[in-house]
Structure 1
Amino acid sequence: MSLQTHLVELERKHRQLEEAIAQAVSSPSSDDLSVVELKRKKLMLKEEIERVRQTMPDRTLH
């Protein structure tokens, strides 16, 4: 898997976690512990995304 493909997949998972967190927060039946766990996973993904971006060759931003 190329770094670009890996990055796209990590970003997709990050967006899915954002949606899951939003749903959990808006649901009266969700518990705080599950929301905290989702946020922890999201943060770990964000850190992984940053690590992958740092290993990628420099790109010109448009």
Structure 2
Amino acid sequence: MADKLSGEERALLEAELEHLRQEHRDLDTAIEALLHLGVIDQLQVQRLKKRKLLLKDRLSFIEDQLTPDIIA
């Protein structure tokens, strides 16, 4: 798939990838902050963790799109 991407498509995917990575890091920070506050909102933490997992899945999908297929 990666060899079929135009330069513009590759650039868009790389930009989205960087945006998602930043959002993933921000969620890590938010979860840590909630856990260190002492007053833990379990529902909020669960929502953030679920969002983080969705981001990870999307990150993996985009990385697969950008990585050329290698036949072993």
TM-score by length of 1: 0.85
d(CA) in 1 for partners of 2:26, 2:49: 12
Aligned equivalent of 1:37:
47
Where does 1:19-30 land on structure 2 (aligned, <5 Å)? 19-30=29-40
Tell me, which stretches of 5 or more residues in structure 2 are unaligned?
1-10
d(CA) in 1 for partners of 2:27, 2:67: 27
Once the two structures are superposed, residues 20-55 of structure 1 have per-residue CA deviations (whole angstroms, 9 ceiling, x without a partner) of 000011111231111111100001000100000011
- Greater C-alpha Rg: 2
Tell me, which stretches of 5 or more residues in structure 1 are unaligned?
none
d(CA) in 1 for partners of 2:52, 2:20: 10
Tell me the matched-pair count.
Answer: 58
TM-score by length of 2: 0.74
